[in-house]
Structure 1
C-alpha cells in the first residue's frame, strides 16, 4: 500500500516544502523508469533479506503493506510471512488519511484510490502497536534513519503509535538510501532500511 495522497504539513516552511517536493519528484521519476522485471527481482531479494533477519524470524505479528506499481514489491514477502506462521496485519486507509488495520488471510479487495486492502475485520488504528515488526513504505531514507514518504502523512501518524524499540524497516530500491533527506523535528526515525542488496540498521 502506497503512502497515499500527497500533502504538506501545516508547519512546513516554503523552503522545506520545496526541498521535499523536489526530492520526491526525482525519486518518483527514477521509480517510473524501473523495468517491471527489476521490481520483481528486487522484491524476491528483499523478501529473502527480511525473512532472514533475526527481528523478523522472532516476530509473532508483522505489520506490513500492499505495494503498488513501481514500489518495492511486497506480494512475495506477505505470503512468505504467512507461510512461516506469522500474523500479518495490513493497513486500511480511512477517510481522514489515518490507517486502520486488518489481518491478512491471503485475500485482498479493491479500495479507494486504486489501493488494495485486506478484507477481514477491522482492528482499529492502535493495532499497529501490537506488531513486533513494522514494515513501512517510503521513497528514501537518510543515514540517520529519517524516512521520506509521499507526503500524505498516513504513516507519520501510524508510526507515532509504535512502541519505542520496535523494529521499523522501510522497503526501498537500490539507490534510495541517501546521505540525508529533508526533515522536521517531529519526524521519527526508523530502525532499518532494506534494499535488494542489503539490510541496513541505523
Structure 2
C-alpha cells in the first residue's frame, strides 16, 4: 500500500513538473519576444522544472518493480526489474526524458534552433504518453493517440502559461504585460 501511495505521489509530481517545463517552454516560443525582463527567469524556471521532472520520472520508474510485487522488496527482484525494463513504461520514460533533454538544450540556446528543438522536445514527451495504457492496446490506437496528444498539448500550454503570465505581469512594464496578456 505504501509503495502505491508513493508511486501516485511521484506520478502527480512528474505531471506537474513535466507540464510546467513543457508549458513554459512553449510559452517562450510563442511569446518570448514580448517578455524581455522576465525571459531569463522563465528559462530558469523551465529548466529547473525539467530537471526535477527528470529526477521524479526516474524515481517513479524505479518503483515499477515494487508496485508489481506490492511492496518495496520488489526493488531487489531482478525478474520484476527486467520485466519493467522491457515494458512500454520504459519506452515512455525514454521518450519523456529525451523530450526534456531537448527542451533543456533549447532553453540554453538562442536563435533559429530554439523553436524546432522546443517543438521536437514537447512532441516527443507528449507522444511518449501514447506508449502506455489504452492508447497502446486499443484497436483504434491511432485515433486515441492523436486525441491524447492533443489533450496533453492543450493542458501543457494552459498549465504552463500560469507561471509565465504571473512573472510577466510582475516583472515587465505595464505596457509589455498588457501586450503579453492580449497576445495570450
* TM-score, normalising length: structure 2: 0.32
Report the structure, 1 or 2, having the larger strand content. Answer: 1
Report the structure, 1 or 2, having the larger helix content. Answer: 2
Higher RCO, 1 vs 2 (CA within 8 Å, ≥6 residues apart): 2
Q: Which has the larger radius of gyration?
A: 2
* TM-score, normalising length: structure 1: 0.30
